[in-house]
Amino acid sequence: MFDVDYHPFLNGRCPFSKNVSVPMELYESLKGNYFIGYADNLSFGNGTSAWARLYNPPDSGVNLYANVWTVTDISTAPFRAQFWFNSVPPGTPIDSLDVTPSNTAIIPAPKPRVKLQLASNVTGEPSGGIKAFVRRGQPEVTLVETENGKLIFPPGGSFLVFLSISDVPDIAASGRVAMGWWEESIYRPCI
């Protein structure tokens, strides 16, 4: 049996250095900082909208890094998904119970400081913040995007997905938004 650095055609020596690249999502998951969740049974249409957001409470002590989002199971009509940064959505937020750390090997399980919130059948538009981008989708088609953590929100900030029916607003629709994110303490020393 040979040493892992042994190479029989190079006089027993391997001239190559080893390098391991760990994706950021895996790195954060190993540390217990990566979370996934979804906002289910979002109802909208008939002149109303629905939304889901990652909300970083003002006292969280962490920055939120939005990594991935999906909008799925939208039925009946073409829809519009608006993506807002740091806005106040209409309606009363409900905390989603469908959130988990991605690393289930850590005991006790890490708990997110960021909240995944949702609201259905709301009227009006988000206020404040900025509408950063918009996506349009067809019924039964999933929209998905990996942001690689480039969307960063400090305490008090939020990443909002605002759903509405775009072409025929007077019909009912439903759907689901899923998100993956990691959290990093804002109090860590610079390295």
pLDDT, tens only, 51-110: 999 999 999 999 999 999 999 988 778 899 999 999 999 999 999 999 999 999 999 999
Distance CA 83, CA 47 (A): 19
pLDDT higher than threshold 80 for residue 8: no
Q: Which residues contact 126 (CB under 8 A, 6 or more apart)?
A: 51, 82, 84, 87, 88, 89, 90, 160, 162
pLDDT per residue as tens digits for the range 165-179 = 977 767 889 999 999
Residue 151: count other Cβ atoms within 10 Å of its Cβ.
Answer: 18
Q: What is the pTM (predicted TM-score) of this model?
A: 0.86
